[in-house]
């Protein structure tokens, strides 16, 4: 991996004009003074900025900063740069694009600073659409990678053909050469599109499947429904759109907000009846819990408190004595990887708690950091090696555990983590719902 | 003993002194400036950093108002790198005298200050922290000016034209020869050596010290020392200067200055120029006063308090309409140029007092005109038109941005000017030197290394004034110890290092002590853990070098 400073730099290549050194004056930012004003902090932002005592714990824990020296870390491009941004000084968008939005910084911050929010806001303000990736073709790449939903729709029309074409070396080389999608990155295969059948009547829950279930892993989605139905629920799945996380990660903020509005409109009737929304993808879950409440529609204030991670909800049922616990012994030794966006939800590891209720399940928590993929970050040609570098501790732990016969599969909620763990360590990786399904006798033997 | 000679010796390295040095140098008059500390270490950096539009004086002091708007335009032209053209607002709050606004508008018009009313809705959208009950808002061309940068740019420009300056040189006596002056004698505080500067003309630009210096030459001068305290907030709370639209008073002006916001100020007569320690009581009062324009002030983090001592000429401070009397006095009511030959019979001795930072160039021009007349030099003044800093080539900006995508490359170029070239070369050779040594203000290792080696830097505080190291949120918690190895490499220049460390921390501590609450208190606890804990600095000498951290332990 080349550790050059230059590679973060994008503005010059994208044709920025030489000009006088007046970046700090509002005039230099643009003629439209109201545009400049968007630098303004809300009262809440200002409190966060003041709370940072510069202890640098966030940077010490940042998976990217640990693996890539030129990236100065969340403190620097977050609260430090925020003071300069208020002065009108913007960092290169290419530098900000090294933040994978994993939120580890926010999890570890002892002062409660919303570091990633600051970074995302800065990216948004820079209108990063055109500038985060240097060349036009890479911008097309970001445009494409942000649209997991459209890609999924296309890919699931004839998944066999799509997968075959994407598997050709020549296709991948072409994609790498033209639009900078790494030829080696573990692009997930397309499956038949997730299309749940209407189930039996009961207490309703809404299931937000997310793009990974919708287009790459329908089996897991169907199993989530089976497990919930086994517990007597009627599972409603409106025709949701992508949650918006991939769009945000690729600098498409306005479209992400559009998706949030459309999804909220679909949820509205259920939210108003107090029906919970469940997610099996931790990134969708985090978006619903933390980003959707910021959307300016009345129903947004409900979504945050009515969204549950699947296992968080099941554990709640357990605590209420409402979970079906007719578990058959499952004699499996497993490893568990907690996705970053699960950690960011601040709910611990509910799937591990549920596993402890199942006789025979032995789980080793890997606790080896981020997998490095971060949605589409690891698919990008210039970031692919870095993404493997970030995940190297995890892969080493997995390979070692497999070699020593401690476990035979890695359980993790996040589809992206599953793909990356398979790619980086060769281990089988699947969603925790499969273990529960086996305990309920709903699935064939899981291997 | 070091001996210098020149046509003119200027005492005092504030804005006025270096302004005079530059002006005289541009006219080809050989000059030496003598300063007891670092340039801009006194009043010239201990203010709110406001480049007046003159609007603040529009009612009470029309002469000042006119001078300010003229100089405001000139400085924006000659020193764009030192001025942040933020604009400024005058905000009328309920209860403020309504008639004042009319008188003010008229005053601005007379002085030629452009004013535009801002619709309230738009105003609150642009400045979300501004008091919601604002009644009227007017925009004027106020701006923020960096005292450190401006003073150093003047000094560097003067040097390009042959001007010389001696920092850390304290004048002990003005040399007399018959009825006139013959130069100055004093001590080089860095080496302990004595020095003399022979010159037929001595200019006293020592600000708050001016009366004492004048007295030492047997001349009389009355200076009122007016202390004003200022609060530095952690970040920019407003995007523009915010004034209260009423007769100027205490705590009614916020200036966005570089990364921070400065709230000023107060007015209290003190006995000595050294009385610049803000007290807890003064800070409390400022917070209470600032609340009118910034209702959320109590929740805003103050990173330090500081105070400056304004040198006011006695006749300035008299009631409006007070007579100025004497011959050679009164360039205008705002500042005074005193020819001590006319006043006290001391030939070749001139004092310049009063005025404000915004008008430093005009003051320098008037002094230089007087000096030039004495020397029969008829080269006209060029300081109003000739830019302070030669324009940097565009490729430098490009190179800086490529080398420092994650830092404030543009700000570094503005600070360093031509000195940026070797800094960028160093980073190009070794990208590690592009790492940030001072993270709050984004100052790279290479920049600090360059300034530490600079012949004009003798203490870490000098490095701070040139780079902003230690001036951000953490107030030196992390960058101070990081700078030490670079200073150590300068072969004894900063020895003993432990004293440098303690001196610098104590200077930071002086400003932090009056604002110890909330987040800044948390920050200070972290700082204390680093220095009193990890680095074992103790109240009295247990680190072996007599290091003292006042009250930090």
Whose CA is closest to A349, among A338, A361, A341?
A338
What is the least distance, in Å, from the CA of A28 to any CA of chain B?
10
**Distance from C-alpha of B135 to C-alpha of A320, rounded to nearest angstrom:** 57
> ∠ CA(B113), CA(B114), CA(B120), 5° rounding?
125
Give residue A19's domain range: 6-130
Residue A125: predicted pLDDT: 81
Whether residues B123 and B250 share a domain: the answer is: yes
Give the SS3 label for residue A339.
coil
Residue A149: the pLDDT is: 85
Q: How far is CA A373 from CA A69, A102, A251, A389, A391, in A?
A: 18, 10, 17, 10, 8
What phi and psi, each to the nearest 5 degrees, are found at residue B46? -105, 60
A12 in B contact zone (CB under 8 Å): yes
Spatial neighbors of A177 by CB under 8 A, at least 6 apart, are none
B473 inside 8 A of chain A by CB: yes
Has residue A158 got a pLDDT over 70?
yes
Q: Is residue B302 part of a domain?
A: yes
Tell me if B55 is assigned to some domain.
no
Greater pLDDT, A140 or A83: A83
Cβ contact (<8 Å) for B395 and A18? yes
Q: Is A70 inside any structural domain?
A: yes
Is any Cβ of chain A less than 8 angstroms from the Cβ of B84? yes
- The pLDDT score that the predictor gives to residue A35 is 36
The reported pLDDT for the residue numbered A143 is 81
- pLDDT beyond 70 at A171: yes
Q: Which of A98, A130, A162 is the last residue of a domain?
A: A130
What per-residue confidence (pLDDT) applies to A434?
97
Assess whether B139 and B244 both reside in one domain: yes
The answer to whether residue A60 is domain-embedded is: yes
The pLDDT value given to residue A22:
34
Quick check: is A429 in a domain?
yes
Window 256-285 of A, Cβ < 8 Å to B: none
CB contact (8 A) between residue B519 and residue A36? no
pLDDT digits (tens, 9 = 90+) for A359-368: 999 999 999 9
* Domain final position from B443, B465, B495: B495
In this structure, is residue B535 part of a structural domain?
no
State the sign of the Cα–Cα–Cα–Cα dihedral B385, B386, B387, B390.
positive
Closest CA to B37 of B196, B170, B197, B193: B170
Confidence band of A269 (pLDDT split at 50, 70, 90)? very high
Q: Say how many C-beta atoms besides its own lie within 10 A of residue A48's C-beta.
A: 21
CA distance B164 to B159: 6
- Give the pLDDT score at A19: 36
Chain B residues with beta carbon closer than 8 angstroms to that of A19 = 394, 397
**Interface touch A91/B473, C-beta < 8 Å:** no
CB B258 within 8 A of CB A87: yes
A36: contact with B, CB 8 A cutoff:
yes
Does the residue B155 lie in any domain? yes
Closest CA to A292 of A188, A222, A208: A208
Q: What is the three-class DSSP state of A193?
A: coil
Co-location of B304 and B155 in the same domain? no
Kindly determine whether residue B126 and residue A89, on different chains, have CB atoms separated by under 8 Å.
Answer: no
Residue B135 and residue B94 in contact, taking contact as beta carbons nearer than 8 Å: yes
Distance to chain B for A54, nearest Cα, Å: 7
Q: Write down the pLDDT at residue A39.
A: 54
Question: Looking up tokens 């994650």, which residue turns up?
Answer: B406
The per-residue pLDDT for range B386-427, each reduced to its tens digit, is 999 888 899 999 999 999 999 999 999 999 998 999 999 999
For B414, the closest of A18, A21, A86 (CB atoms) is: A21
Over 60: is that where the pLDDT of A13 sits?
no
* DSSP string over A316-337: HHHHHT-S---PPP--EEEEE-
Residue B323's pLDDT is: 36
CB contact under 8 A, B410 and A24: yes
CA-CA distance, B384 to B395, in Å (whole number)? 28
Residues of A whose CB is below 8 A from B518: 50
Percent of chain A with pLDDT strictly greater than 70:
87
Query: What pLDDT score was predicted for residue B446?
Result: 97
Between CA B293 and CA B286 the distance in angstroms is 12
Question: CA B197 to CA B21: how far, in whole Å?
Answer: 15
B125 inside 8 A of chain A by CB = yes
Query: Which residue, B357, B312, B306, B308, is CA-closest to B42?
Result: B308
CA–CA separation, B247 and A272 (whole Å):
55
Domain presence at residue A190? no
Tell me whether residue B72 is in a domain.
no
Take residue B78 and report the two structure tokens written for it: 């000659």
User: Does the CB of B534 have a partner CB in chain A at under 8 Å?
Assistant: no
Residue numbers in A near B259 (CB within 8 A): 83-84, 86-87
Assign B231 to helix, strand or coil: strand
Check whether residue B301 and residue B320 sit in a common domain: no
Contact flag B234-A76 (C-beta cutoff 8 Å): no
d(CA B38, CA B33): 12
**Chain A stretch 51-80, residues whose beta carbon is closer than 8 A to a beta carbon of chain B:** 51-56, 70-72, 75-77, 80
pLDDT of residue A3: 41
In a 13 Å sphere around the CA of A382, the CA atoms on its Cβ side amount to 22
B113 forms beta bridges with none
Tell which residue, A180, A181, A7, has the closest CA to residue A92.
Answer: A7
The answer on B482 and B406 residing in a single domain is: yes
Q: What is the pLDDT of residue B460?
A: 96
CA separation for the pair B103, B96 (Å, rounded) = 13
Tokens representing B382 are 């060029």
Q: Contacts of residue B434 in chain A, CB cutoff 8 Å?
A: 5
Across the interface, whether the CB atoms of A50 and B519 are under 8 A apart is answered: yes
Q: How confident is the model at residue A394 (pLDDT cuts 50, 70, 90)?
A: very high
Q: Are B239 and A40 a contacting pair at CB < 8 A?
A: yes
| Portion of chain A with pLDDT greater than 90, in percent | 66
Query: How high is the mean pLDDT of chain A?
Result: 87
Nearest to A6 among B85, B392, B402 (CB): B402
- Under the phi-then-psi rule, with left for phi > 0, alpha for psi from -120 to 50, and beta for the rest, what region is A187? beta
CATH classification at residue B92? 3.30.9.10
B:410-469 residues touching chain A, CB 8 A cutoff = 410-411, 413-414, 431, 434-436, 439-440, 442
DSSP lists the bridge partners of residue B254 as: B242, B263
A371 touches B at CB < 8 Å: no
What are the structure tokens assigned to B34, written together? 């003598």
Query: How many structural domains comprise chain A?
Result: 2
The token pair at A370 is: 């981020």
| Interchain pair A47, B413: CB under 8 A | no
**Is B224 in a helix, a strand, or coil?**
strand
Token code pair at residue A265: 């409109």
> CB distance A23–B522 less than 8 Å?
no
Number of domains in chain B: 3
Cα distances from A91 to residues A94, A136, A138, A270, in angstroms, run: 8, 20, 20, 43
Domain boundary among A102, A130, A158: A130
Q: In chain B, how long is the greatest CA-to-CA distance? A: 69
Same domain, B140 and B159: no
Candidates B397, B522, B523; nearest CB to A21: B397
Parent domain of B438: 394-495
Crossing angle between the packed helical segments B445-453 and B409-416, to the nearest 10 degrees: 10
Contact yes or no for A50 and B301 at CB 8 A: yes
| pLDDT in the model for residue A43 | 64
Question: Could you tell me the two tokens for B126?
Answer: 């642009």
Helices (DSSP H) in A52-155: which residue ranges?
57-61, 63-67, 74-75, 81-85, 93-96, 104-108, 115-125, 136-145, 148-155
Question: B529 is written with which tokens?
Answer: 């853990």
Strand, helix or coil for residue B436: strand
pLDDT class of A197 with cuts at 50, 70, 90: confident
Q: Is the dihedral of CA B157, B159, B164, B170 positive or negative?
A: positive
Integer CA distances (angstroms), B377 to B164, B199, B203, B370, B373, in order:
19, 16, 17, 10, 6
What lies within 8 Å, CB to CB, of B351 at 6+ separation is B203, B204, B205, B210, B213, B214, B219, B221, B337, B338, B340
* Domain assignment of residue A140, yes or no: no
Q: Is there a domain that residue A396 lies in?
A: yes
Is B395's Cβ below 8 Å from some Cβ in A? yes
Contact B392/A at CB under 8 A: yes
Decide if A53 and B474 are in contact by the 8 Å CB cutoff: yes
Q: Which residues, other chains included, contact B110 with Cβ-Cβ below 8 Å and sequence gap of 6+?
A: B58, B62, B65
Residue B522, token pair as written in the block: 């948390």
Does A374 reside within a domain? Answer: yes
- B445-480 pLDDT tens trace: 999 999 999 999 999 999 999 999 999 999 999 999
Q: Let me know if residue A32 belongs to a domain.
A: yes
Residue A84's nearest CA partner among B441, B23, B344, B445 is: B441
Partnered with residue B138 across adjacent β-strands are B90, B117
Position of tokens 């991939």? A246
Identify all chain B residues contacting A89, using CB atoms and an 8 Å cutoff: 408, 410-411
Strand partners, B176: B181
**In angstroms, rounded to a whole number, what is the distance separating the alpha carbons of residues A122 and A281?**
26
Last residue of a domain, one of B495, B510, B541: B495
Same structural domain for residues B365 and B399? no
CA B15 to chain centre: 7
Choose among A21, A37, A50: nearest Cβ to B410.
A21
DSSP for B7-54? SEEEE--SHHHHHHHHHHHHTT--EEEE-SSSTT-SGGGSS--EE--S
| Distance between CA atoms of residues A214 and A221, nearest Å | 8
Whether residues B324 and B441 fall in one domain: no
**Spatial contact of B147 and B44, defined as CB atoms under 8 Å apart:** yes
CB A398 within 8 A of CB A366: yes
Worst-scoring range by mean pLDDT, A74-78, A103-107, A440-444, B48-52?
A440-444
Query: Is residue B156 in some structural domain?
Result: yes
Tokens describing residue A429 = 């990786």
Rounded to an integer, what is the distance from CA A433 to the centroid of its chain? 19
Choose one of A70, A100, A130: the last residue of a domain.
A130
Q: Check whether residue B213 and residue B300 sit in a common domain.
A: no
Does B271 lie in the same domain as B214?
no
* Residue-wise DSSP of A274-317: T--EEESSHHHHHIIIIIGGGSSSTTHHHHHHHEEEHHHHHHHH
Higher pLDDT residue, A14 or A91? A91
Q: Is the pLDDT of residue A20 over 60?
A: no
A-B contacts at Cβ under 8 angstroms: 158
Q: In this complex, is the C-beta atom of B398 within 8 Å of any C-beta atom belonging to chain A?
A: yes
**B217 and B332 inside one domain:** yes
Answer whether residue A17 shows pLDDT above 70.
Answer: no
Place of tokens 């080493």: A396
CA proximity to B405, closest of A68, A207, A374, A418: A68
Contact indicator for B201, B207 with CB cutoff of 8 Å: no
Please identify, among B312, B329, B346, the residue that sits at the C-terminal boundary of a domain. Answer: B312
Report the half-sphere exposure of A138 (CA within 13 A, side-chain side). 21
CB A191 within 8 A of CB A219: yes
B348 shares a domain with B276: no
Q: What is the pLDDT of residue A40?
A: 56
Low-confidence ranges of chain B (pLDDT < 70): 315-333, 539-553
Residue of B nearest to A35 (CA): B126
- Report how far residue A362's alpha carbon sits from residue A354's, in angstroms, rounded to the nearest whole number: 12
* Token pair recorded at residue B489: 């490499």
Token readout for A392 is: 């190297």
| Minimum mean pLDDT range among A15-19, A436-440, B362-366, B445-449 | A15-19
Does A83 contact B473 at a Cβ distance shorter than 8 Å?
A: yes
For residue B338, being part of any structural domain is answered with: yes
């Amino acid at each position: 991996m080349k550790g050059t400073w230059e590679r973060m730099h994008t503005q010059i290549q994208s044709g920025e004009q030489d000009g006088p050194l007046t970046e700090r004056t509002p005039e230099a930012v643009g003629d439209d003074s109201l545009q400049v004003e968007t630098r303004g902090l809300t009262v809440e932002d200002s409190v966060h900025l003041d709370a940072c005592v510069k202890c640098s714990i966030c940077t010490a824990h940042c998976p990217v900063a640990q693996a890539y020296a030129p990236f100065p870390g969340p403190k620097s491009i977050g609260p430090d740069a925020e003071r300069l941004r208020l002065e009108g000084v913007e960092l290169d968008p290419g530098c900000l694009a090294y933040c994978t939005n994993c939120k580890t910084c926010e999890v570890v911050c002892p002062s409660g600073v919303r570091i990633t929010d600051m970074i995302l806001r800065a990216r948004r303000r820079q209108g990063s659409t055109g500038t985060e990736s240097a060349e036009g073709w890479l911008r097309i790449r970001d445009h494409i990678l942000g649209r997991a939903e459209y890609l999924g729709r296309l890919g699931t029309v004839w998944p066999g053909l799509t997968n075959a074409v994407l598997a050709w070396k020549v296709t991948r080389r072409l994609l790498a050469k033209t639009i900078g999608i790494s030829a080696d990155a573990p692009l997930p295969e397309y499956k038949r599109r997730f299309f749940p059948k209407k189930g039996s009547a009961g207490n309703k829950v809404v299931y937000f499947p997310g793009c990974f279930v919708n287009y790459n892993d329908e089996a897991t989605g169907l199993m989530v429904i089976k497990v919930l139905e086994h517990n007597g629920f009627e599972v409603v799945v409106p025709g949701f759109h992508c949650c918006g996380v991939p769009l945000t990660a690729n600098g498409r903020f306005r479209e992400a907000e559009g998706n949030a509005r459309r999804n909220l409109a679909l949820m509205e009737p259920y939210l108003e009846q107090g029906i919970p929304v469940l997610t099996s993808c931790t990134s969708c879950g985090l978006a619903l819990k933390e980003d959707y409440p910021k959307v300016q529609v009345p129903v947004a204030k409900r979504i945050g408190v009515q969204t549950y991670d699947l296992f968080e909800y099941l554990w709640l049922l357990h605590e209420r004595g409402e979970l079906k616990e007719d578990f058959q012994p499952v004699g499996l030794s497993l490893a568990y990887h907690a996705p970053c966006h699960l950690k960011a939800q601040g709910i611990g590891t509910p799937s591990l708690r549920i596993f402890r209720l199942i006789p025979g399940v032995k789980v080793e928590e890997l606790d080896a950091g981020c997998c490095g993929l971060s949605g589409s970050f690891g698919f990008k040609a210039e970031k692919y090696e870095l993404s493997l570098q970030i995940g190297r501790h995890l892969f080493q732990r997995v390979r070692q555990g497999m070699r020593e016969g401690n476990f035979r599969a890695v359980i993790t909620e996040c589809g992206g983590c599953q793909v990356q763990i398979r790619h980086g360590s060769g281990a089988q990786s699947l969603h925790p719902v499969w273990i529960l399904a086996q305990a309920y006798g709903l699935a064939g033997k899981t291997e | 003993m070091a001996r210098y000679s020149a046509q003119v010796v200027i005492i005092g390295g504030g804005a006025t002194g270096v302004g005079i040095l530059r002006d005289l140098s541009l006219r080809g008059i050989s000059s030496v400036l003598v300063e007891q500390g670092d340039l801009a270490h006194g009043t010239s950096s201990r203010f709110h950093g406001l480049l007046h539009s003159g609007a603040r004086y529009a009612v009470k002091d029309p002469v000042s108002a006119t001078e300010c708007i003229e100089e405001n335009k000139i400085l924006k032209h000659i020193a764009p790198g030192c001025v942040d053209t933020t604009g400024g607002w005058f905000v009328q709050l309920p209860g403020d005298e309504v008639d004042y606004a009319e008188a003010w508008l008229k005053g601005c018009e007379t002085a030629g200050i452009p004013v535009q009313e801002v619709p309230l809705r738009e105003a609150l959208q642009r400045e979300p922290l501004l008091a919601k009950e604002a009644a009227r808002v007017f925009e004027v061309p106020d701006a923020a000016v960096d005292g450190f940068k401006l003073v150093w740019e003047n000094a560097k420009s003067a040097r390009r034209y042959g001007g010389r300056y001696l920092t850390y040189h304290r004048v002990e006596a003005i040399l007399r020869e018959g009825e006139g002056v013959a130069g100055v004698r004093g001590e080089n505080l860095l080496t302990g050596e004595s020095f003399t500067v022979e010159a037929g003309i001595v200019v006293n630009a020592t600000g708050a010290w001016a009366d004492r210096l004048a007295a030492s030459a047997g001349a009389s001068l009355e200076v009122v020392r007016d202390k004003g305290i200022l609060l530095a907030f952690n970040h920019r709370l407003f995007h523009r200067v915010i004034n209260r639209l009423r007769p100027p008073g205490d705590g009614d002006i916020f200036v966005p200055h570089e990364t921070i916001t400065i709230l000023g100020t107060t007015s209290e007569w003190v006995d000595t120029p050294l009385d610049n320690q803000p007290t807890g009581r003064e800070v409390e009062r400022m917070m209470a006063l600032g609340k009118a324009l910034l209702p959320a002030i109590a929740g805003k983090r103050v990173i330090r308090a500081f105070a400056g001592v304004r040198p006011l000429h006695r006749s300035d401070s008299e009631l409006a309409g007070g007579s100025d009397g004497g011959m050679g006095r009164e360039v205008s009511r705002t500042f005074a140029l005193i020819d001590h030959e006319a006043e006290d019979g001391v030939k070749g001795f001139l004092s310049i007092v009063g005025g404000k930072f915004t008008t430093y160039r005009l003051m320098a021009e008037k002094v230089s005109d007087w000096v030039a007349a004495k020397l029969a030099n008829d080269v006209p003044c060029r300081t109003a038109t000739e830019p302070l800093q030669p324009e940097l080539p565009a490729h430098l900006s490009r190179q800086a941005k490529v080398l420092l995508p994650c830092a404030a490359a543009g700000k570094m170029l503005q600070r360093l000017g031509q000195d940026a070239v070797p800094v960028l070369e160093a980073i190009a050779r070794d990208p590690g030197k592009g790492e940030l040594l001072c993270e709050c203000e984004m100052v790279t290792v290479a920049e600090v290394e360059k300034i530490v080696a600079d012949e004009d830097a003798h203490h870490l505080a000098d490095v701070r004034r040139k780079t902003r190291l230690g001036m951000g949120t953490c107030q030196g918690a992390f960058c101070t110890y990081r700078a030490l190895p670079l200073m150590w490499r300068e072969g004894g220049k900063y020895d003993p290092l432990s004293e440098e460390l303690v001196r610098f921390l104590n200077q930071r501590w002086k400003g932090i002590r009056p604002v110890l609450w909330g987040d800044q208190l948390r920050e200070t606890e972290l700082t204390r853990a680093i220095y009193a804990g990890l680095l074992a600095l103790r109240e009295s000498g247990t680190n072996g070098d007599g290091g003292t951290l006042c009250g930090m332990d």
